[in-house]
Amino acid sequence: MRVLITGAAGMLGRRAAEEYASRGAETYPLTRKELDVTDHSAIEKAFADIRPHLVVNCAAYTNVDGAETEKEAALAVNGLAPRLLALACRRHDAALVHVSTDYVFNGRSPRPYLISDPPDPVNVYGASKLMGEQGVREAGCRYYIVRTSWLFGPDGKNFADTILKLAGERDTLKVVDDQRGSPTYTPDLARGIAGLAGTGIYGTYHFTNSGVTTWCGFAKKILRAAGLKTKVEPCTTAEFPRPARRPANSALDPFPINRVLGCAPPSWEAAVEHYIKNHYQAQTED
Ligand SMILES: NC(=O)c1ccc[n+]([C@@H]2O[C@H](COP(=O)([O-])OP(=O)(O)OC[C@H]3O[C@@H](n4cnc5c(N)ncnc54)[C@H](OP(=O)(O)O)[C@@H]3O)[C@@H](O)[C@H]2O)c1
The CATH code of the domain that includes 44 is 3.40.50.720
Give me ligand 1 centre to Cα 123, in Å: 17
Which sign, positive or negative, has the C-alpha torsion 54, 100, 32, 70?
positive
Grouping H, G, I as helix, E, B as strand and the rest as coil, residue 84 is helix
Question: Measuring from atom 32 of ligand 1, which residue has the nearest CA?
Answer: 36
What pLDDT score does 280 carry? 79
* Cβ-proximal residues to 209 (8 Å cutoff; 6+ apart), any chain: 182, 183, 184, 185, 188, 265, 266, 267, 268, 270, 271
Domain count of the fold of the chain: 1
Question: Measuring from atom 33 of ligand 1, which residue has the nearest CA?
Answer: 32
Q: Does ligand 1 come within 6 angstroms of the Cβ of 42? A: no
Span 252-273, pLDDT tens digits = 999 999 999 999 999 999 999 9
User: Which pLDDT band holds residue 156 (cuts at 50, 70, 90)?
Assistant: confident
Q: What is the DSSP letter of 11?
A: H
Grouping H, G, I as helix, E, B as strand and the rest as coil, residue 205 is strand
Residue 87 lies in a domain: yes
What pLDDT score does 129 carry? 98
Residue 242 lies in a domain: no
Query: Ligand 1: which atom is nearest the Cα of residue 99?
Result: 45
Q: Taking the CA atoms of the chain, what radius of gyration do you get in angstroms?
A: 18
Span 29-39, pLDDT tens digits = 999 999 999 99
What pLDDT score does 144 carry? 98
Separation CA 118–CA 239 (nearest Å): 29
Q: Does ligand 1 come within 6 angstroms of the Cβ of 12? A: yes
- Amino acid identity at 101: T
Residue 229 lies in a domain: no
For residue 88, the enclosing domain spans 2-153+184-210+251-266
What pLDDT score does 189 carry? 98
Residue 227 lies in a domain: no
The question of whether 125 is a catalytic residue gets the answer: yes
Give me ligand 1 centre to Cα 17, in Å: 14
Q: Does ligand 1 come within 6 angstroms of the Cβ of 52? A: no
Separation CA 178–CA 107 (nearest Å): 11
| pLDDT (mean) for 156-173 | 93
Query: Which of 112, 191, 179 lies closest to 146, judged by CA?
Result: 191
Residue 177 lies in a domain: no
Query: Ligand 1: which atom is nearest the Cα of residue 102?
Result: 6
Model confidence, pTM: 0.97
- Amino acid identity at 42: A
Span 100-118, pLDDT tens digits = 999 999 999 999 999 999 9
Span 51-92, pLDDT tens digits = 999 999 999 999 999 999 999 999 999 999 999 999 999 999
| pLDDT (mean) for 194-202 | 97
Q: Does ligand 1 come within 6 angstroms of the Cβ of 101? A: yes
Residue 233 lies in a domain: no
Residue 162 lies in a domain: no
**Phi, psi dihedrals of residue 219, rounded to the nearest 5°:** -65, -45
What pLDDT score does 104 carry? 98
User: Which pLDDT band holds residue 285 (cuts at 50, 70, 90)?
Assistant: low
How much of the chain, in percent, has pLDDT values that exceed 70?
98
**Phi, psi dihedrals of residue 54, rounded to the nearest 5°:** -140, 140
Q: Does ligand 1 come within 6 angstroms of the Cβ of 60? A: yes
Residue 61 lies in a domain: yes
